[in-house]
Structure 1
């Protein structure tokens, strides 16, 4: 019993010692998967080996351990897995592990790394990791931990290990993280493993912008480029658009682009325009396109401007800031002819030209318009150019034919007005508010009319002037003479300015006015060079006097058609009434004499005819004529005699006429201007 007790109590320490030393040994030789238990000094080896070599190694090393008498091998081989895979999937605060591990020790290491990946991360699937044979050579646990560390930089992602191939995917939260991930994964992946796939997406950007600009040494690309193989296609497009140019590629991969196929078409369209702009810049922002630069010549500008009509489908050209070539002088014109309207020269912009064309179509509906304008720089600002040209087009609409021509800041309007009203409207516009910043020159002519008609009608209501006159100065002189010679009669002027008058027309109207003033009523009408003169003279002898005066006074080439009758004289013995009638006439007009002081001016024939008619109404009265003093008493007497002679020729019996003593008031000579006090007294006695 004592022997049995001694053996029993001495066996337990031996087994414990052997178990402890065998566990340390298995760890030291890297075979911790195995476990040894002892019955006395006899070892029982258990566990799942990764290979037969590992089983042999464990048996051999354990058999050489001091104190071990025998080794019984109860180990088995783990199932082999091909491929040997492992996956870690992160979705926010969730991390799930799947696949195979070579050992429990590897599982613990991986679980520890997963729990430390980020604060608050919940790890799932650790217990479901399956131990298996087939682990690739190298530090498998190290590559798993490396992958988990990269997942910690992304809010969501996945790493996959398949044998010795490592893949990572997900979306980086920003460009810094994306760059760091790409560098780390490509350069620090543990040895014996290779990168099979880097599918980490860059951040999504909005707006998705891209830009290409010409520089002295080539083309600089900046902004973003879509995922995939867009970069290679884009670089080929740059080389085709700007052959031989050095390319500075500063593009960043980014997500959020429009569909790549359409995006590349839009980029190709923009680069084709960039090839025509030596210092240009083009860009895309989502689905909008911008083009900027200075066109080197009209061919380049026309090509770029024409391309605006072929923007790729789904895209919009929102900024077109291409400066056209500079020209000097900067001139343009809108010409109206029999075939329609023709626009030539230069416009400062497409929009400015379109506004002018709209104004032309509004002012000339249905009139054919030929647009030959080119876009150029070097002229007035677009707004000022439009305002000036539209102003000119407004005046051109009032012309039968003509042109609006611009040269720098000078606007010239020329042509023939459609009619007198239109001519007046143009003149009013030119005397009103003109386009700011422009000097306006005008050569607008009145309309040419044929036949050229003009008329003056004298009746109880006054004098009516109608028809056309060739100049404002000549017409003003005629109106002023009418006011004097017709003794202040009401004047109704409905005539208008027009060209086409025959030579000597203005002289003819003055001659006619002198004779019309002699009539009690009458009318003179011109039809080109034909004059029809009709009315009622105040005494018989006046018919031949008027005929003679008109025949002698009308310019060469004018034809006279005369039709006159004689007014009926009403006799009276009321001398006071006769005197009042004469006094009223002399109060309304003054007798004018020629410079030789003794001859009566033709402009006074009408007044004297009416004085004679009034005096003839009192056949029994004596008529005393006295002229206020002229330069000399003899001159005054000579003028008085001239008046009495005129009255005698007008039918007043010479026996009734005599001259009175002169007064001290000067009279008006024929060459003086403006009314003076009457220089004649005709006294009925």
Structure 2
């Protein structure tokens, strides 16, 4: 029998249990439904929509591209297992006509703007933009507006295609308007331009059409064009401006050279001068080409060149006259039309007291003009008579100008002289204006003779009077000033100076000139040897007079220098010697004295007469300085050895000669001994005259 009065008391507990079950089971159910709903929406291609669940009720949100898409999503979601009800809160995206999108590149920046059909499309486009090129900064992707009206076809694909083309240009723009695709910019080179044109015209994604290809070819500078005429026709090369210039150009060629086959190798390029003026210049050039059976005309920017061989003097005269009718804004910079042949092909530029005279032949009008200008520039204010004629048969015009201009440059440094040419032989002769000019001319002739030419020179230094030359020795080294007769004699003097003055700095400010007295070089060499014996001094030549002044290192040197120099001077050189004795040097200890002698022997050589013991006068300077050092350590014995330790008669005699020289220089004889000590200060072989013998001078 049912006890209902007791049963109802358990209902509240049961209700609580049911409520708890509903609360704790709802979360997993909603999560499961959300996950399956997102997967469903992605699988059916409607990821624009999103579903969240309140229990088993799906709350559908998002902006649809069309009403059909909303119906589709509602229907598919309503059939999802577990969904009780679909609450459609979606809206329609605004429709845009035209549906536009653009991407603009400016160097390392890429800006996106316009409409996209979905967030998915925005992400895909942004990813394509980021992958365009390393380091590109993308802006505007977040501002892309979702809208309806996207054209049929692969919209994302055509945008990615356009961005890939932008990657090939430093700057540019793509624009999509409904199903029309446009691209503009400037290609960095011709290879890129060709590739872009082929790719855009042939690989544009389907359902889209090319509305505008406005990619400019590279801007070239200079903008060059040429037409070459040969027996089989006319070849056109270089660049042609944008627009319809090609058709007009081909008509001009047919008019100037009737019946000629035309080989068109022109490339479309930017950077041309204004097209109307350019076509007038081309017409002018082609008219000249019509007079040259084998010739070439060319434009480079606003300059024109004409070259070839005139078939006769009438054609040459017409061509030469046409230089005065060049179109406005253009310049004829090269006129290399060959005239009749001259043999022999000779020319000259001569300078005399009365002025300049240009004679002979020039290979072209332009070449002649360049030389006339060079003469006027190098000889301002000097009268010049131009008697040159134009002819062929000589050197190439460029080489002729280079060689003749080189000769004119040297002629400008001559007091009188001439530059003469015969074929590929160039001769320069005359007297230099001064020593610097003479040196400059010789250096130019030795360093850079004109390429392809044989150069002959007879250039003489200037004549100076009085003829002065000076050798001055002081604490800073040796200074050489004045004049010397020739470069070869100058080299001998400099080499001797470096050897005689034991590596002291040589400051050479001398110059070459004619007018030296007889025997000058021998006298200068002799004076240099004696000057090297002085503590300081000067040997000065004034025409046929030599004056030696300064301070000797020890008293006996004065008489020795006067006698030695007087005995070797060439006849006709008068000698005047005014010498004092230098003050004694401060005392040195043995080690310092030894080092000073070591340093001298390291810098110079004692030279003996071949197979004899006589000391060569060239060594007197070295030995006088050794004596001066030995005198500064008066209590130290000096040991001298020449040759190997075992010695021989010649070595002993040479050692005794050194002892005698130092004794005559004032070193006490009882301090000077010879023998075979261990090597402390050694001089290696002096030269061939010593037979390889070594010298040791040891301070004990």
Q: TM-score, normalised by structure 1?
A: 0.51
Aligned length: 389
Displacement of 1:431 in angstroms is: 3.8
Residue 495 of structure 1: SS of its match in structure 2?
strand
Does residue 366 (structure 1) correspond to residue 381 (structure 2)? The answer is: yes
Displacement of 1:379 in angstroms is: 1.9
Does residue 439 (structure 1) correspond to residue 419 (structure 2)? The answer is: no
Which one of the candidate residues 380, 386, 410 is aligned to 2:395?
Answer: 380
Separation of aligned partners in 2, 1:332 and 1:347 = 7
Displacement of 1:452 in angstroms is: 2.1
CA contact (8 A) 1:625 1:682 kept: yes
Q: RMSD in angstroms over aligned alpha carbons?
A: 3.9
Displacement of 1:459 in angstroms is: 0.7
Indicate the residue corresponding to 1:397 in structure 2. Answer: 412
Indicate the residue corresponding to 2:125 in structure 1. Answer: none
Separation of aligned partners in 1, 2:647 and 2:587 = 37
Separation of aligned partners in 2, 1:523 and 1:565 = 12
Indicate the residue corresponding to 2:663 in structure 1. Answer: 648
Indicate the residue corresponding to 1:64 in structure 2. Answer: none
> Cα–Cα, structure 1 residues 574 and 604, in superposed 2: closer, same or farther, change >3 Å?
same
Deviations 1:481-527 (CA, angstroms, capped at 9, x unpaired): 22222111122122223333222221112111110110011111112
Separation of aligned partners in 1, 2:339 and 2:695 = 79
Q: Write the mapping of 1:587-626 to structure 2, written as runs, cut at 5 A.
A: 587-626=602-641
Q: Which has the larger radius of gyration?
A: 1
Which one of the candidate residues 521, 526, 543 is aligned to 1:511?
Answer: 526
CA contact (8 A) 2:607 2:618 kept: yes
Indicate the residue corresponding to 2:541 in structure 1. Answer: 526
Displacement of 1:663 in angstroms is: 7.5
> Cα–Cα, structure 1 residues 639 and 338, in superposed 2: closer, same or farther, change >3 Å?
same
Does residue 552 (structure 1) correspond to residue 584 (structure 2)? The answer is: no
CA contact (8 A) 1:393 1:404 kept: yes
Separation of aligned partners in 1, 2:411 and 2:346 = 17
Deviations 1:561-613 (CA, angstroms, capped at 9, x unpaired): 21100012246373444333323322322211110330111111011111111
> Cα–Cα, structure 1 residues 325 and 541, in superposed 2: closer, same or farther, change >3 Å?
same
CA contact (8 A) 2:335 2:364 kept: no
Displacement of 1:328 in angstroms is: 1.9
CA contact (8 A) 1:592 1:668 kept: no
Which one of the candidate residues 402, 426, 429 is aligned to 1:414?
Answer: 429
Displacement of 1:678 in angstroms is: 8.8
CA contact (8 A) 1:295 1:322 kept: no
Separation of aligned partners in 1, 2:637 and 2:406 = 70
CA contact (8 A) 1:293 1:321 kept: no
Displacement of 1:437 in angstroms is: 3.2
CA contact (8 A) 1:590 1:677 kept: no
> Which sections of structure 1, spanning at least 5 residues, go unmatched?
1-205, 212-290, 312-317
Which one of the candidate residues 321, 335, 339 is aligned to 2:350?
Answer: 335
Displacement of 1:662 in angstroms is: 7.3
Does residue 681 (structure 1) correspond to residue 696 (structure 2)? The answer is: yes
Separation of aligned partners in 1, 2:361 and 2:480 = 47
Indicate the residue corresponding to 2:504 in structure 1. Answer: 489
Separation of aligned partners in 1, 2:517 and 2:636 = 48
Q: TM-score, normalised by structure 2?
A: 0.50
The ranges of structure 1 where at least 4 consecutive aligned residues each deviate by more than 6 angstroms after the TM superposition are: 303-311, 318-323, 662-666
Separation of aligned partners in 2, 1:632 and 1:405 = 67
Separation of aligned partners in 2, 1:559 and 1:603 = 22
> Cα–Cα, structure 1 residues 683 and 380, in superposed 2: closer, same or farther, change >3 Å?
closer
Q: Write the mapping of 1:69-468 to structure 2, written as runs, cut at 5 A.
A: 294=312, 326-468=341-483
Indicate the residue corresponding to 2:485 in structure 1. Answer: 470
Separation of aligned partners in 2, 1:569 and 1:389 = 64
Separation of aligned partners in 2, 1:335 and 1:531 = 40
CA contact (8 A) 2:335 2:366 kept: no
Separation of aligned partners in 1, 2:693 and 2:509 = 31
Which one of the candidate residues 534, 538, 556 is aligned to 1:541?
Answer: 556
Displacement of 1:362 in angstroms is: 0.8
> Cα–Cα, structure 1 residues 330 and 546, in superposed 2: closer, same or farther, change >3 Å?
same
Indicate the residue corresponding to 2:581 in structure 1. Answer: 566
Separation of aligned partners in 1, 2:525 and 2:442 = 26
Separation of aligned partners in 2, 1:333 and 1:392 = 10
Residue 534 of structure 2: SS of its match in structure 1?
coil
Indicate the residue corresponding to 1:138 in structure 2. Answer: none
